[in-house]
């Protein structure tokens, strides 16, 4: 069983569409990360959040600690947003304190 589940696994959108990627987790956490991975492999950290909402340009990340759920939204999507988006959570419990658990990623393709 994966501690972090992402949906959808694959997402195709037309340029300009509003996009939502979801992340649910089953462990107690101290923080949640949203990461972006472009073809070629390099991973960039987009957000780190432990409560509420963060916004950076066209990207918005929200988290609901009670429901153990986070969403990443992209407004006015663009082909350059095409990438794999990965959710990761940092455990706050017991023997796994500080460990990171990763979702399997969501492949986003935005067509012009």
- The CB-of-2 to other proteins minimum distance in angstroms stands at 8
Q: In 3D, which of 47, 24, 52 has the Cα closest to residue 35?
A: 47
The answer to whether 39 and 52 are in contact (CB under 8 A) is: no
Half-sphere exposure of 67 (CA within 13 A, CB side): 10
Residues 23-42 binding other proteins (CB under 8 A) are 30-31, 33, 35, 40-42
Peptide bond into 101 cis (omega under 30): no
- Choose between 27 and 31: whose C-beta lies nearer to other proteins: 31
Q: Does 12 bind other proteins (CB under 8 A)?
A: no
Q: In 3D, which of 13, 24, 20, 23 has the Cα closest to residue 58?
A: 20
Which one of the spans 17-25, 57-65, 72-80, 98-106 is the region binding other proteins (CB under 8 A)? 98-106
Q: Which of 13, 63, 77, 90 binds other proteins (CB under 8 A)?
A: 90
Q: Which of 45, 51, 64, 109 binds other proteins (CB under 8 A)?
A: 45
């Amino acid at each position: 069983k994966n501690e972090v589940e992402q949906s959808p696994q694959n997402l195709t959108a037309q340029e300009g569409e509003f996009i939502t990627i979801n992340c649910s987790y089953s462990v107690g956490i101290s923080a949640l990360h949203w990461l972006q991975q472009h073809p070629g492999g390099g991973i960039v950290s987009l957000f780190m959040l432990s409560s509420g909402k963060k916004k950076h340009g066209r990207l918005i990340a929200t988290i609901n600690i009670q429901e153990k759920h986070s969403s990443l939204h992209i407004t006015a999507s663009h082909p350059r947003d095409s990438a794999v988006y990965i959710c990761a959570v940092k455990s706050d419990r017991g023997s796994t304190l500080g460990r990171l658990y990763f979702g399997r990623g969501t492949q986003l393709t935005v067509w012009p």
